Amino acid sequence: MEQLQNYIQGALSDPLGGAWMPVHEPATGAVYARLPDSTPADVDAAAKAAREAFPAWAAMPAEERARHLLRIADSIEEQRDDLAAAESRDNGKPLQLATSVDIPRAAKNFRFFATAILHASSEAHATDTEAINYTLRQPIGVAGCISPWNLPLYLFTWKIAPALAAGNTVVAKPSEITPMTAFRLSQICIDAGLPPGVLNIVHGRGAEVGAAITAHPDIPAISFTGGTQTGAQIARTAAPMFKKLSLELGGKNPTLVFADCDFDAMLDTVVRSAFSNQGEICLCGSRIFIERPLYETFRDAFVDRVRALRVGDPLDEGTAQGAVVSEEHMQKVLGYVALAREEGGRVLCGGERVRPEGRCADGWFISPAVIEDLPFQCRTNQEEIFGPVATLLPFDGEEDVLAMANSTPYGLAASVWTQDITRAHRVAAHLQTGIVWINCWMLRDLRTPFGGMKQSGVGREGGWEALRFFTEARNICVKL
């Protein structure tokens, strides 16, 4: 059985307390590896290593830092197939998805920020003829990066890469549920010659290791992606310590389908936006609003397409829906399907545990569920399920759909389907979400601001926003 280790001060090490936890394969339900059950003492060691590595890393010419990060990107690309297999095994997602999306994007994250830092500039302000002000953007010190289980290496590197590119050193924690590719990344960094202490990865429980990172006095910036409740807990610890905080939290994203949309293009993408990665993407559109004249046509075609999604072994090429990430999560999702029934919903397809034949018989699979007849204010339509469950709601006109779409405490992303470009802009301006896709979904340009409004987060990732977060802006005023 493989044994994972922490990555501290440039070397792999066992947890100081000598305790370990099991790692499960969602597709089989079996334990297949052990990971460190680290304690605050491990976080302390990591923070010390990061603090000591900081001055040299921050002072290193940007071109040299970029070369380090580009070497890491190259290695991730070279090891794409192995990393994708590890990601699929650890998370349950289809191998094909890990190969085409997760791992290439992890490499791209490093490449993007390695080159971005070479083009970064800061502002100057001439105060009439009296003075010149210029802004210095300097790295903060040690950044804490905490990421979730749904897109493990993809989201882990989305934080680490800009933090390192900007000249910070990092103490990072992946989810205990999906630690494998973060562990592989440690080996990649060692092989790529990343200086010791620049990146440190501590494995373990959120409430132990995550909390210790958040509370550590030598870690002045925290970048967190995960659930809204955890985000609130992190903010409670970090705020009185005046830490910089970036929070990417939950979502309950609306998809708005107007009757004048390009139906075929819409249908393909809306199926994908609801159920990609078993619905375990923070950007998935789980509430689908359909303009009333199109409602029945949409419902019938959508349900046909969803029924055809093959649920099964993530390693099979034809698998569209792999396993959900854990038994606990499977029970949570099934609990929401039961709640939807209690709330008066009609389950049109799916929503049941699936036991594929063969090696995956004990795995955690759910058939993708489509539910109608629920009011927009009910719990099923207000709370984040984060699984393969989509609800259908008819609407009458823009005002009606905007009121329902904006009714949740979340505000991460939305997509709008219409061929009326004026309406598309108008509706986009009134949606209370950080991201709006018009006639597309998850089309990403890494330069754009990424993040949510309301309880979906604080701050933005992506492009210059990320580099701004990971630097301290200082004004220098020179009297002329």
Question: Which residue numbers are catalytic?
Answer: 248, 282
Residues 73-112 that bind ligand NDP (CB under 6 A): none
- 31, 56, 124, 207: which one binds ligand NDP (CB under 6 A): 207
Check residue 250 for interaction with ligand NDP (CB under 6 A): yes
Binding mask 253-282 for ligand NDP (x = CB under 6 A): -----------------------------x
Q: Smallest gap, in angstroms, from Cβ of residue 65 to ligand NDP?
A: 25
Q: Which is nearer to ligand NDP, 167 or 226 (CB)?
A: 226
Q: Smallest gap, in angstroms, from Cβ of residue 151 to ligand NDP?
A: 6
Check residue 368 for interaction with ligand NDP (CB under 6 A): no
Q: Smallest gap, in angstroms, from Cβ of residue 336 to ligand NDP?
A: 13
Check residue 176 for interaction with ligand NDP (CB under 6 A): yes
Check residue 227 for interaction with ligand NDP (CB under 6 A): yes
Binding mask 378-397 for ligand NDP (x = CB under 6 A): ------x-x-----------
- Sole window of 52-60, 69-77, 206-214, 397-405 interacting with ligand NDP (rule: CB under 6 A): 206-214
Check residue 462 for interaction with ligand NDP (CB under 6 A): no
Check residue 150 for interaction with ligand NDP (CB under 6 A): yes
Q: Which is nearer to ligand NDP, 28 or 223 (CB)?
A: 223
SS (H, E, C) the chain: CEECCEEECCEEECCCCCCEEEEEECCCCEEEEEEECCCHHHHHHHHHHHHHHHHHHHHCCHHHHHHHHHHHHHHHHHCHHHHHHHHHHHHCCCHHHHHHHHHHHHHHHHHHHHHHHHHCCCCEEEECCCEEEEEEEEECCEEEEECCCCCHHHHHHHHHHHHHHCCCEEEEECCCCCCHHHHHHHHHHHHCCCCCCCEEECCCCHHHHHHHHHHCCCCCEEEEECCHHHHHHHHHHHHHHCCEEEEECCCCEEEEECCCCCHHHHHHHHHHHHHHHHHCCCCCEEEEEEEHHHHHHHHHHHHHHHHCCCECCCCCCCCCECCCCCHHHHHHHHHHHHHHHHCCCEEEECCCEECCCHHHCCCCEECCEEEECCCCCCHHHHCCCCCCEEEEEEECHHHHHHHHHCCCCEECEEEEECCCHHHHHHHHHHCCCCEEEECCCCCCCCCCCECCEECCEECCECHHHHHHHCEEEEEEEEEC
Q: Which is nearer to ligand NDP, 24 or 305 (CB)?
A: 24
Q: Smallest gap, in angstroms, from Cβ of residue 252 to ligand NDP?
A: 9
Check residue 457 for interaction with ligand NDP (CB under 6 A): yes
Q: Smallest gap, in angstroms, from Cβ of residue 389 to ligand NDP?
A: 14
- Sole window of 13-21, 242-250, 257-265, 437-445 interacting with ligand NDP (rule: CB under 6 A): 242-250
Check residue 285 for interaction with ligand NDP (CB under 6 A): no
Binding residues for ligand NDP, per CB under 6 A?
Answer: 146-150, 155, 173, 175-177, 205-207, 210-211, 214, 225-227, 230, 233-234, 248-251, 282, 384, 386, 412, 452, 456-457
